[in-house]
């Protein structure tokens, strides 16, 4: 399964699709951290970057999962010993790729984007939020990948709509009905990120796992 994940990452990089995600992520980094975040707003700046890269992480995950032609997916499934392993290998490859993009974003933020060194608690919270962004991006990208949404036009619309739903639902009292990314930003802006992190993490994690489970279940009938 690891070998298949390596194959898929290699195919993704060789196909140059990786750059389609890397370039907008670099753009987000440049926008968010162009002027160093002032002292006291480190948590807000790091949270903004975690939220804003989610659609591009989803784009990266979708791109990686769609790099393989459909028949290659069938060959891979027989090679690795079953469709379930093929799905797992694809998600693993997407997680590794998105984690690299998220680490780049967080690293740039910590090294270049802040006027003051953030506290240890804020750094840990930023790491957790970027990890949740990776999971959210992979889940959204997987649910809009070709086996689930064959039409590229509908797939891109679904990806954007999914992220907008996260943003809009997050400002309502029903923020717990999705990955509450707006609630992340509100908590960070109000200086309550560290205190509210456990609750936000649980809600976000549950929805990410539900979405990944839904993807795995849907793939049973969509090889």
Partner 1 sequence: MGSISIVGFFSPTMRAALYRYSTMWLTEVSFRYRRRDRYVIEAAEAHLSPGDVVELTGPNGAGKSTLLRLLAGLTRPTSGAVTGRPAIVGYVPDRFPTGQSFTVAGYLRHMARVRGGARWEPWAERVGLDGFAGVRLGELSKGTAHKVGLVQALMAEPGLLVLDEPFAGLDRDTRDALPDIVTEVAARGGIVVASDHQGGMGAVDGLRLWSLRSARLVEHPPSSSPPSSFPPSPAEPKAAEDLVAVEVSVPARDLDGFLRRMRDDGYPARALTGEETT
Quick note: the x/- pattern for partner 1 over 12-51, rule CB under 8 A, is --xxx-----------------------------------
Task: Based on the shown chain and the rule CB under 8 A, indicate whether residue 88 belongs to the binding site for partner 1.
Answer: no
Task: Based on the shown chain and the rule CB under 8 A, indicate whether residue 96 belongs to the binding site for partner 1.
Answer: no
CA angle 180, 181, 182 (to 5 degrees): 95
**3-state SS class at 119:** coil
| Shortest Cβ 2–partner 1 spacing (Å) | 9
User: What DSSP line would sit under 41-65, residue for residue?
Assistant: -HHHHHHHHHHHTHHHHHHHHHHHH
Task: Based on the shown chain and the rule CB under 8 A, indicate whether residue 68 belongs to the binding site for partner 1.
Answer: yes
Helices (H), 113-151: 120-143
**3-state SS class at 203:** helix
Length of the chain in terms of residues written = 223
Cβ atoms of 143 and 179 within 8 Å: the answer is no
Which of the stretches 41-49, 67-75, 95-103, 194-202 binds partner 1 when contact is defined by CB under 8 A? 67-75
Which of the stretches 1-9, 109-117, 127-135, 163-171 binds partner 1 when contact is defined by CB under 8 A? 1-9
Task: Based on the shown chain and the rule CB under 8 A, indicate whether residue 10 belongs to the binding site for partner 1.
Answer: yes
- What residue ranges bind partner 1 (CB under 8 A)? 3-4, 6-7, 10-11, 14-16, 68-72, 74-83, 220-221, 223
């Amino acid at each position: 399964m690891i070998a298949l994940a390596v194959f898929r990452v290699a195919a993704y990089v060789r196909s140059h699709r990786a750059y389609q995600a890397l370039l907008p992520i670099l753009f987000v980094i440049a926008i968010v951290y162009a002027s160093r975040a002032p002292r006291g707003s480190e948590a807000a700046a790091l949270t903004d970057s975690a939220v804003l890269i989610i659609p591009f992480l989803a784009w990266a995950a979708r791109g990686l999962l769609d790099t393989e032609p459909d028949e290659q997916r069938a060959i891979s499934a027989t090679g690795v010993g079953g469709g379930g392993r093929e799905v797992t290998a694809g998600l693993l490859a997407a997680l590794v790729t998105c984690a690299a993009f998220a680490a780049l974003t967080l690293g740039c933020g910590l090294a270049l984007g802040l006027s003051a060194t953030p506290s240890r608690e804020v750094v840990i919270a930023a790491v957790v939020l970027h990890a949740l962004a990776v999971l959210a991006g992979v889940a959204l990208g997987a649910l809009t990948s070709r086996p689930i949404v064959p039409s590229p036009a509908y797939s891109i619309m679904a990806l954007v709509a999914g992220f907008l739903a996260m943003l809009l639902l997050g400002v309502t009292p029903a923020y717990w009905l999705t990955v509450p990314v707006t609630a992340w930003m509100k908590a960070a802006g109000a200086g309550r990120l560290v205190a509210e992190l456990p609750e936000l993490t649980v809600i976000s994690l549950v929805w990410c796992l539900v979405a990944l489970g839904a993807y795995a279940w849907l793939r049973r009938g969509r090889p």
